[in-house]
Structure 1
Amino acid sequence: MGSRNTAPVTHRRVNWAGLGWMFLFFWYFSGVAQLLIIQAGVAGWKGMVQASMVTLLWMVPLLLFPARTRLLAGVLGIILWVSSLAGLGYFLIYGQEFSQSVIFIMFDSNMQESSEYLGHYFSWSIVAVIVAYSLGGLLLWTRVRPVYLPRKALVACCVLFLGVSVGYNAVHQYFKRATVKLAAAKFEENIEAAAPWQIVVGYHQYRQQLDEMSKMLATQAHIPPLKNLTDQHAGQRSTLVLVIGESTTRQRMSLYGYGRPTTPNLDQIRSQLQVFDNVIAPRPYTIETLQQLLTFADEEHPDLYLSTPTLVSVMKQAGYKTYWITNQQTMTKRNTMLTLFSKQADVQTYLNNNRDQNETSQYDGDVLDPFSKALADDAPRKFIVIHLLGTHMSYHYRYPPTYDYFKDRSGVPANVTDDQLAVYNSYDNAVRYNDYVVSSLIKRFSNTDPNGLLLYLSDHGESVYDPVAPKVLGRNEAAPTRPMYTVPFIVWSSPSWKAAQANLPLDGAYLHRPYSTSHFIHTWADLAGLRFDEFAPSQSLVNADYKQGRLLIGNPHTPSGLRDFNSLPIDPLQAPAAQVAQHKNDPAPGTVPKTAND
């Protein structure tokens, strides 16, 4: 009788079924949440692709140590399961993808707030889903089995899985980015969709941003207040509202003459509004624009925000209780400046905690209830900032299905191709939904019979296959077009506020003044009835002493790259003939024309 061979059998063929079950088990803890996100229409496939690629990393130790497959799978599975519960639970409650912003809120809350949160959102249905989810993971674990590979196949698989999951991404970012720090940040962003990196990366980024924000807040705390500030409305109950839009060019608003009915609600109340039609943003990017719009910095003095108060600080100095309601993804590394502005407010409401706001449905209608709550506050003097997501790319995520209004070529310029049509229409639909949100804010505000005003403007515009640049989509400071900078600027004032501000006639020629929002803080001070030593009446859009200056656009840290907005080409279909004729005499692109004030 021959002896029995107890050595493990080395299969010549790859056990594809074993590899499949192994992958499915690890993928489960990231893929289920991503599938729910896609199914709900909250985001696209980007997160799913990233999570699926990173999943391959966990298969490597099982292939290297097949005799311990079940043990390793169990230990790794528990880690992935625990870390994935936060993302799954957050989606079940909010319908959003877990992100660094959520971690910021978690650590920014006290124990009482956390207890109230759990008590408010506790649901047996959520418990049932989590139990079913956990049982699904356990069932998949029972299907995991050892996979023995020949040495060459083992090496090939390990190299491939490591490369696809993290290796290629790390090397690619290292050579693509200017610094190791930037490369590491982008690498983290590309693995964040998968468990447990949602928690690990999120917490790491939270700590980085918290340190940076703490330094900025400390710097702001040492900035002296404005000198000799006076308030025309001191002692009065008043509410002032600033609504900041996103990526909305006025050239696509029927309120400004666009052929499609993209702003039917604002059109209906136009007689109640002061509609300024010649206002531009200095830069086509949110952070860079707001750094000027909400501070004393401008294109010629870009660093003044480091030594002068922000608009929120100014309003607090004037005795206003301040609120910041935002649907922007605020608490991320890119948006530290936005966090600085918001954290200076007395009350903050953060609505958008998605990991990737560009590819996520997060509707601005969510700001309406927090706004009503702020209006109901008993504070006698209130300053409320509302920061919308507006018409930010990707446009089809900015409005609910009921606002899918424009679907065909009716009213579409001839230059728009069939391939461009869907995007062109989705932008107009986003503008139409933005009209609903802004008009609803005005309606809710006016219904409180306030003493005050509401001002709406957009941070910058957007170029979306417009006739002046038929192939351009988005924003690019290196290749500027007019739609990237032309922004809406409208004011609604209560009757009592208008009467008190009779010295500011917001009509006639005032509405057509060329103006850059880089000087906005002076206009706001005028509208709010504030005066201080630093106030410049010549830079206020609504002041009798206003002086027209150069409408500079571009990166102020490279002055040679600054140019006058009026040097940009004009779309002859959207501009008066006289303006086109005048434009023929404009300076060559890339130059800043001299004026009498130089």
Structure 2
Amino acid sequence: MTTTTRTAHAPARIDWAGLAWMFLFFWYFSGVTQLLIQVTGTAGFAGFRQAFLLSGLWLIPLLLFPAHTRRLAALLGGLLWLCSLAGFGYFLIYGQEFSQSVIFILFESNVAEGSEYLAQYFAWWMVPAFLAYGLGAWLLWRRVRPVYLPRRGALLASLLLLATILGYPALRQFSKHEDPAVALEKFEQRLEPATPWQLLVGYRQYRRQLEGMQALLASNAAIAPLQRLRDSHGEQPATLVLVIGESTNRQRMSLYGYPRATTPRLDALRDQLQVFDNVITPRPYTIEALQQVLTFADQQHPERYLTTPSLINVMKQAGYKTYWITNQQTMTKRNTMLTTFSRQADEQVYLNNNREQNARQYDEDVLAPFAKVLSEDAPRKFIVVHLLGTHMSYQYRYPPAFEHFTDRQGAPASVSADQLPTYNAYDNAVRYNDFVVASLIERFSASDPNGFLLYLSDHGEAVFDAPKPAVLGRNEAAPTSPMYTVPFILWNSPRWQASHPRDFAAALSRPYSSADLEYTWSDLAGLHYDEFDASRSLVNDAFRARPLLIGNPAQPRNLIDFSLIKPKPRNDDEVAQREAPGRLTVPPPG
């Protein structure tokens, strides 16, 4: 008689419950934080999904060595728990997802600053929260048990997990991108939401971006100062504020005639403001636009952002203490240039350390540090406030209290039912942006300053607007006017206006590109130097209108005049006054 034997370590059935407890244990260290992010609506679903998938990697050593399951789970779980404390604690304190920007802040802070942050944010409930978090991990570890598979089955399952979780995503990225560095970066983005990769990948990215930023800062430090800089206002105390918005199209602001009340606070301040209604941005992307807006670069000389002083450099040379307060992401590949601009200032305040833009990070966070800087004892201050503004995704840009537009009232008939939620969300974001900008003006005014505040947006945004109501976002290859029309608003303090009286009436409708902001800002601040060109200052009597060039300056013969895409004027007189020639042939920069 033949008998079939089966060892205790090779059961016929798979212990699915045991596998589930293993997975849940390892998921815990990334999943709890990601679950909190989802429940609070802080960020999108991508991070939660990736953390869920990546948790399966830790099953591999337990499947291969089932006899050591408990010890391996304890060892790996202990390491993951320690690594996860950074992300878990950071979310509890700031309500944000841990990212390489946080690593940047940590390494750029000294011990005293770190102690100050701990003292400011530490609360009694954090101790039981961390203890409960650790207790949850321990309780799950107690449920972990060995799952025995045939040796060949364990190897096959491990290879399948490895291929599915890491192999296929890596192969997909490296086959899709010719540049290995780009492929690696995209692959790393899939790892970053999970523990411990958020620390490892974040630190590697931080080091890489830091090197690029340090090179740019070294290059900036070598730039020669402006020649014979002189201040017509002498050494008198002054506070000058530049507020940079994000993705805000002035055509969606009631201050500029939009039928919905998207800017009630600025509308109420209208008599105190100089509202310029014919300003455009040269590029529809933040970095490319600000490389021109904040330097002497322009569409015909785009490389000058590397060889000429930035606005921060100019103000420092003029004797101002400089500050940069930002609610933009701090240290990412895309934002290295922004961080470089900020690091040129004497002091920086970084508020947004989220891993992704699709996160609830509200611009009112800039108000407290702005008030603190205003109160500092420095006779001459230049303050840059960089907002997240109305950046996509719009529903993350405003708190629930600002969900004002919820139906079709006031929306164009061309907006479809599917488009309406996004259309309304953008208008709500504009309304919240109005609250923030007006609050900055009001707080500035309350300090009785001798100075002015200028607000503009880096670029606009098309959100189902005429003349192409199907377009959402920005595309330089297929431009529409909402991508380029930006608000440009000046508030002068009574003291400044009394000391430097100026009539802006003739300047309010001049066609102007924000690429020439440095000349206008210098003129407003009373700064003159050999390189100053009065014809490029929007507020100067010597102003000369130029074609408003848009497009990619890397392809200069494809640059066009904005008049080709701007909305049709209302009457024949405006047509005769503003009509411009067709596509421009722009000579190479020289």
More displaced stretch, 58-67 vs 84-93: 58-67
Kept after mapping to 2: 8 A contact 1:227/1:532: yes
Q: Which amino acid aligns with 1:239?
A: T
Higher mean C-alpha displacement, 145-154 vs 331-340: 145-154
Between the aligned partners of 2:276 and 2:178, the Cα distance in structure 1 is 41
Runs of 4+ deviating beyond 6 Å: 3-6
Whether 1:312 and 2:312 are equivalent positions in the alignment is yes
Q: Partner of 1:214 in structure 2? A: 214
Match of 1:393 in 2: 392
Contact 1:246 1:458 (8 Å CA) reproduced: yes
Corresponding residue of 2:441: 442
SS at structure 2 position matched to 1:424: helix
Letter in 2 for 1:291: Q
Give the Cα–Cα distance (whole angstroms) in 2 for the partners of residues 506 and 261 of structure 1. 26
User: What is the percentage of aligned positions where both structures have the same residue?
Assistant: 61
- CA contact 1:12–1:150 (8 Å) conserved in 2: no
Aligned to 1:592: 584
Matched, 1:460 2:455: no
The alignment partner of 2:323 has SS state of strand
Task: Report if aligned partners of 2:563, 2:579 keep a CA contact under 8 Å in 1.
Answer: no
- 1:327 alignment partner, SS class: strand
Query: What SS is found at the alignment partner of 1:303?
Result: helix
The Cα shift of 1:200 comes to: 0.6
Deviation at 1:399, TM superposition (A): 0.5
- Hey, what does 2:251 align to over in structure 1? 251
Shift of 1:495: 2.1
Q: Which residue of 2 aligns with 1:431?
A: 430
CA distance in 2, matches of 1:228, 1:486: 35
Q: What TM-score comes out, normalization by structure 1 length? A: 0.95
1:528 aligns with 2:549: no
Please, which moves more after superposition, 176-185 or 305-314?
176-185
| Aligned equivalent of 2:362 | 363
1:561, 1:224 → 2: CA distance? Answer: 32
**Letter paired with 2:504:** L
Q: Deviations over 1:350-381 (max 9, x none)?
A: 11011112x10010001111111111011000
TM superposition shift of 1:593: 6.5
RMSD: 2.1
Task: Name the residue aligned to 2:413.
Answer: 414
Distance change in 2, residues 1:199/1:561 (3 Å): same
Aligned with 1:382: secondary structure?
A: strand
| Cα deviations by residue, 1:10-54 (Å, 9 ceiling, x for unpaired) | 233332212211111111000000111111221121110011111
1:307 deviation in Å?
1.2
Quote the offset at 1:118 in angstroms: 2.2
**3-state secondary structure, aligned to 1:491:** strand
Aligned AA (1:400): P
Matching residue of 1:62: 62
What is the one-letter code of the residue matched to 2:446?
N
Task: Tell me the CA shift for residue 6 of structure 1.
Answer: 9.0
Tell me, yes or no, if the aligned pair for 1:245 and 1:387 is still in contact at 8 Å.
yes
SS for the counterpart of 1:492 is: strand
Check the 8 A contact 1:243/1:386 in 2, yes or no. yes
Kept in 1, the 8 Å contact 2:559–2:585? The answer is no
Task: Give the structure 2 partner of residue 491 of structure 1.
Answer: 490
Q: Following the alignment from structure 1 to structure 2, what is the Cα–Cα distance between the partners of residues 294 and 23? A: 50
2:290 matched residue in structure 1:
290
Asked if structure 2 preserves the Cα contact closer than 8 Å seen for 1:567 and 1:583, the reply is no
Q: Which runs of 5+ in 2 are unaligned?
A: none
The one of 559, 562, 565 equivalent to 1:565 is 562
TM-score (norm 2): 0.96
**Alignment partners' CA distance in 1, 2:344 and 2:162:** 44
* Alignment check: 8 A CA contact 1:538 1:546 kept: yes
Gaps of 5+ in 1: none
Residues 133, 583 of structure 1: alpha-carbon distance in 2 compared, 3 angstrom cutoff:
farther
1:551 and 2:551 correspond: no
1:126-173 per-residue CA deviation (whole Å, 9 max, x = no partner) reads: 111111111111111111122223456435432332233222221121
Q: Provide the rounded CA distance (Å) in 2 between the counterparts of 1:365 and 1:244.
A: 14
Amino acid at match of 1:57: L
Range that drifts further, 237-246 or 199-208:
199-208
Deviations 1:536-587 (A, max 9, x none): 11111111111111111111112133221111152x5xx5233885699765
Among 572, 576, 579, which residue is 2:570 paired with?
A: 576
The answer to which of 553-562 and 411-420 deviates more is 553-562
Instruction: Classify 1:234/1:342 alpha carbon distance in 2 versus 1 (closer, same or farther; 3 Å).
Output: same
Q: Is the 8 A contact 1:54 1:164 kept in 2?
A: no
Distance in 1 (CA, whole Å) between partners of 2:152 and 2:478 is: 51
* Contact 1:229–1:531 under 8 Å retained in 2: yes
Distance 1:579 1:306 in 2: 42
1:178 is displaced (CA, Å) by 3.4
Within 5 Å, give how 1:46-85 maps onto structure 2: 46-85=46-85
